[in-house]
Structure 1
Amino acid sequence: MSIKFGTGGVRGKLGEEAGRINEGAVARVTQGFANHLRERFAVPSVAICRDSRHCSDEFARRAAEVLAGNGIRALLFPRVEPTPALSFAVRELGCSAGVVITASHNPKEYNGYKVYGADGCQITVAAAAEIQDEINAVGPDSVQAVAYEEGVESGLIGLIPDDVLDRYCDAVLAQSTGADCSGLRVAYTPLNGTGLELVSRTLAGIGVTDLHVVPEQAEPNGDFPTCPKPNPEEPAALELGVALGQRVGADVLLATDPDADRVGVAVPHDGEWKLLTGNELGLLLLDFLATRAGAAGEDMSHKVVVTTIVSAPMADDLARVHGLELRRTLTGFKFCGEQIGILERQGRESDFLFGLEESYGYLAGTYVRDKDAVVSCVLACELAAYWKARGLDLWEAMRALYDRYGHWGNEQVSVAYEGEDGAERMAAVMDALRSEPLAELGGLAVERVIDYAPGAPMPVVNPLPGSPAQVLPPSNVLEWRLAGGSRVLVRPSGTEPKVKAYVFAKGETSEEAEGLLAKLVREVRGLLS
């Protein structure tokens, strides 16, 4: 069985054949994980969460059976819950680790197994490699398991009480800015995933009383019958939500992915609905939170925002204007979570202001160490209410930010490399980009090349004087910084046979930025093809 345990765990198509996600694969992965835990904890325990996908319940129970068979206590949420609730539960219950059975926003044919450390953060690259070694050592007869009922009777399998979710919701609501949402009309779709329970509950907590949920997508359903690709980045996933928003006259539409760690936002503008990009919503929230913190008299020079190297370059400009520190990590929100841990060890946990990534993931507060669509929905509603009170929708508010700091176009380009030689061809593309340096892209001179493969200094804006410099872990990423501020980054996907490029084009007007973006995208696609 060719199980590849990546930096976050395992994800793949369901099926009985080798290399697919099935109960045997889950058992083997869990046995390797159990061996890893027993070497490091005297009395280990694991919190387990699952989403609405096919076999998620069976896989969660199987993981619990194997953990219990190894003398490790397993605590399961009694029903489907968002991934961030698992991150919270690990820390709240003092568990050694956490497991989420999810394939995030992938189609219905997929499922997965994601692992968290005792800090509530997705495991590190080093831990993933160690767990992979343990999985490789698990033989066909090495899995130790007990029947689920036997585990319950012995006390090694139990349920996570609902009061943990009560405390999670309290922690989410503690991030509220206090903006008046009583006049806001909200449409919402959980895309047949896990978000309905906690999103509706926390929105009620900030005064959203006019909430309309897409009925066809309200309940958990692993078939995702009205939305084959339950990804809030995809406009097609929001079609029913937009239709509902039009019928009820909503001010904003929220759409959370199946494990409710990411959110997409659309708003009505001049008779049509506009979907904000992940970068745009992140920038609006960053500006909103920084403005509120500054107005409250907080020392902005100590505040820290964390984003990734492939997320909006414009965040640098906002950091400079607000006088706060911005750190860029490698791709993946776990690296943002690691930065919170660093601040915590320095006694600066309260200095963390916000985390954002281009793929619709955001976090305010330190109660979890991963992106959280529940708190993102709360903040998005408060953001919409704030600008509505000033006569602007969020589309207009974003255009106003562009007018102040420069207009940007951004697009993610993906080129697939299918077949047995896909990995070799991907490696060849990256090798060629390194061995044949580019002098220009899109007619713009390449001013700087950053190769993250050997490790590179963390890009930081406004570092606090005296703060130790950080070096990013080695990663197969290339970045070109172009004349005028535009950027292009290229990296192989960690979960799919694709090479991805993140293209950012800056112009004085939106037309100039979009024209340059189209030119850069054409050239980048040619380089990758």
Structure 2
Amino acid sequence: MSLTEYNRWMQKNLEDPDLVEELEKMVGNAEAIEDAFYRNLAFGTGGLRGVIGAGSNRMNIYTVAKASQGIANDILKTCGEKARKVAVSYDSRNKSKEFAQIASEVFAANGITVYLYPQLMPTPCLSYAVRELDCAAGVMITASHNPAKYNGYKVYGSDGCQITTEAAERILAEIEKVDIFGDVKRIPFDTGMKKGAIASIPDSVYTGFVEEVKKLSLAKEEELDKHVKIVYSPLNGTGLKPVIRTLSELGYTDVTVVKEQEQPDGNFPTCPYPNPEIREAMQLSIEYAKRENAELVFATDPDCDRVGIAVRKGDDFVLLSGNETGCLLLDYICKMRIANNTMPKHPVMVKTIVTTDMGEKIASHYGVETINVLTGFKFIGEQIAILEEKGRKDDYIFGFEESYGYLSGTHVRDKDAVNGATLICEMFAYYKAKGIGLLEQLQNLYKQFGYEKNSLYSFEFEGAKGAEKMKHVMQQFRGCSEKICGYSIQHLYDYSDGIGDLPKSDVLKYVLENDCSIVVRPSGTEPKLKLYLSICASDMDAAENKEKELMKELKKWF
């Protein structure tokens, strides 16, 4: 099948010379052909994500157009004529603008009105535009924090939330009916703009987003020390304008932007893996902070839906994990809402099952209900919609996931790093005014709720052979029912069977003795298995020792 499809692509008069060149280089290379054509690029609740290049298993103008045609077919079947509108945005990645225009051409050719941001914009701005413009769907061209060779295609429903499993299956069925070369309709982009089939999203929508984020501020001016020195990096992505504008309008003016990572650049020359979860991506910001004598460092990923922070500790800086930052924010939000008398009668916090259980302890302390959902912020957004249907939208006070995603409002239905960054700066300024650092406040939380070390390990499995290896590893885990690496299993949760109201998902969670846990799952967007460890102990050293012992055995499985 791979060779047949490769030959079909070779016989076509492709409009992208880069693809033609790449296909010609594959001649006689069976392994390269197999990897590029052994399947169609997987489409799921995360949309598409893959390496940019030639082939049915790659991100290129043809796979993007095919997916767009499938979505268009679904909209035509399920939406009335007036509702046939789609919002489109894109980030700084290579080919992102081109892919956004291709998608727009396909939607427009199918009689669907397209609203396209005239310049690159973050993922949360896309989520906001979908709702503000009453669109049937939204498309965000991004591969989030992946390396430069990747790009992707996120799909949103009319609620501004990434599509559910049911919608993804319905759209996938439509995509699979589409012949990549024979069934796709397209109208030239300039023609679409002239005819009004493709329109620019007005600046008022972007301004509306910024105003909604600003409304989420919780502290009074006199409670904040806004003279705090901050270093920020957009990691060559989309965050620069909305983050700096929002902070400036809120009164944070001593913000230094990392020059080398300021402007959009899909090659990410100074941070090959533009993920604020890792020190390498934050290192340049930390060097700036040392020179500028700054106290807070933060960075947003390329599509500005994740934010990572580092805080000063002596002469160096310490990165806080997503779990640590999330717990600090949750505690701050609860504390401030109670002080301001804005805590709803039945408050709700939402987190994913791989996110620290400490969040639930903090929520319970303040009388806040916790809802646990599957991995992926779309499930948090889905819970906001459920609350909204019950007339309880205002009961939602916070949602977070361990992978640096935060949302304290309901203006969007996805994680929002503009919201996260401004709230982090406010929290930092609030504690600074009281003479308390974030590391000190974090230790206060550990003393109150117990020490917990949470770690994420990722294991890559590239290509067709890698996919088979991942299945084998998951089968090994499923074979454990009594013990893992010497630890007794207290409870096993296999989410592939569906648990409670949660949809079925290939996720395993083991609750071990001594209040520790292991979660393992395949990534929904990358060829990886992810392993989450939660270790409870009396202090950091004890937790780290327990983790080393456990990982020494677990690594043998991979």
Instruction: Using structure 1 for the length normalisation, give the TM-score.
Output: 0.95
Equivalent position to 2:334, from 261, 279, 290: 290
Whether 2:256 is the aligned partner of 1:256: answer no
CA distance in 2, matches of 1:71, 1:418: 39
Deviation at 1:419, TM superposition (A): 4.3
Show the counterpart of 1:515: 545
Preserved CA contact (<8 Å) 1:301 1:323: no
Q: In the aligned structure 2, how far is the partner of 1:430 from the partner of 1:110?
A: 25
Q: Which residue of the partner structure matches residue 466 of structure 1? A: none
Cα distance in 1, alignment partners of residues 51 and 161 from structure 2: 25
**Paired residues for 1:130-169 under 5 Å:** 130-139=170-179, 140-169=181-210
Of 480, 486, 509, the match for 1:479: 509
Q: 2:64 corresponds to which residue?
A: 26
1:102 has 2:142 as partner: yes
Note the C-alpha offset of 1:509: 1.3
Aligned to 2:118: 78
How far has the Cα of 1:297 moved from its partner? 3.1
Alpha carbons of 1:66 and 1:286: their partners in 2 closer, same or farther (altered >3 Å)?
A: same
Which whole-Å CA distance do the structure 2 matches of 1:330 and 1:436 have between them?
22
Residue 41 (str. 1) matches residue 79 (str. 2): yes
Q: Deviations over 1:135-169 (max 9, x none)?
A: 11111211111111211122111100111111100
Judge conservation of contact 1:503–1:520 (CA < 8 Å) in 2. no
Q: Deviations for 1:158-208, whole angstroms, at most 9, x for unmatched residues?
A: 100111111100000010112524221111000000000000011112210
For 1:347, the equivalent position in structure 2 comes to 391
**Contact 1:187 1:241 (C-alpha < 8 Å) held by counterparts:** yes
Residue of structure 2 in register with 1:195 after alignment: 239
Specify the code of the residue in structure 1 equivalent to 2:80: A
* Residue-by-residue CA offset, 1:439-467 (whole Å, 9 max, x unaligned): 254x543211111111112xxxxxxxxxx
Q: 1:21, 1:137 → 2: CA distance?
A: 19
The equivalent residue for 1:184 is 228
In terms of fraction of residues, the more helix-rich structure is: 2
1:453 corresponding residue in structure 2: 496
The answer (yes or no) to whether the contact 1:242–1:253 under 8 Å persists in 2 is: yes
Structure 1 equivalent of residue 20 of structure 2: none
Deviation per CA, 1:484-515: give whole Å up to 9, x if none.
22111111122223221100000111211221
CA distance in 1, matches of 2:110, 2:229: 50
Residue of structure 1 equivalent to 2:161: 121
Matched, 1:230 2:274: yes
CA contact (8 A) 1:294 1:300 kept: no
Structure 2 unaligned blocks of 5 or more: 1-36
| Rounded Cα–Cα distance in structure 1 between residues aligned with 2:100 and 2:109 | 14
Tell me what 2:8 maps to.
none
**Which residue is equivalent to 1:213?**
257
Following superposition, the deviation at residue 6 of structure 1 comes to: 1.8
Q: Which of 520, 525, 532 does residue 502 from structure 1 map onto?
A: 532
Cα distance in 2 for partners of 1:95, 1:520 equals: 48
Which one-letter code corresponds to 2:537 in the other structure? G
Corresponding position of 2:418: 374
Which of the numbers 93, 102, 112 marks the counterpart of 2:152? 112
Alignment of 1:330 onto 2:377: no
Contact 1:340–1:349 (CA under 8 A) maintained in structure 2 = yes
Q: Does 1:15 align with 2:48?
A: no
Distance 1:524 1:206 in 2: 47
What is the letter of the counterpart of residue 118 of structure 2?
Answer: P
Cα distance per residue 1:406-461 (max 9 Å; x no partner):
111121122233342322222222223223323254x543211111111112xxxx
Distance of aligned partners of 1:93 and 1:300 in 2 relative to their CA distance in 1, 3 Å threshold: closer
Greater mean deviation of Cα atoms: 103-112 or 424-433 = 424-433
For 2:120 and 2:436, locate their aligned partners in 1 and report how far apart those are by CA, in whole Å. 37
Separation in structure 1 between the aligned mates of residue 339 and residue 226 of structure 2, nearest angstrom: 23
Instruction: Give the CA deviation at 1:322.
Output: 1.0
Identity %: 46
Paired AA for residue 398 in structure 1: L
Amino acid in structure 1 at the alignment position of 2:208: R
Distance in structure 2 (CA, Å) of the matches to 1:97 and 1:440 = 44
Q: Which amino acid letter does the alignment assign opposite residue 61 of structure 1?
A: Q
Counterpart for residue 427 of structure 2: 383
Instruction: In structure 1, list runs of 5 or more residues that go unmatched.
Output: 458-470
Task: Classify 1:16/1:440 alpha carbon distance in 2 versus 1 (closer, same or farther; 3 Å).
Answer: closer
SS in 2 for 1:420: helix
2-side partners of 1:274 and 1:392: how far apart? 16
Q: Which amino acid aligns with 2:540?
A: S
Tell me how far apart the structure 1 counterparts of residues 443 and 348 of structure 2 sit (CA, whole Å).
25
Q: For residue 344 of structure 1, report the CA deviation from its aligned partner.
A: 0.3
1:453 partner SS: helix
How many Å separate the matches in 2 of 1:419 and 1:241?
34
Q: Counterparts of 1:275 and 1:159 in 2: how far apart (Å)? A: 39
Is the contact between residue 181 and residue 381 of structure 1 (CA under 8 Å) also seen in structure 2?
Answer: no
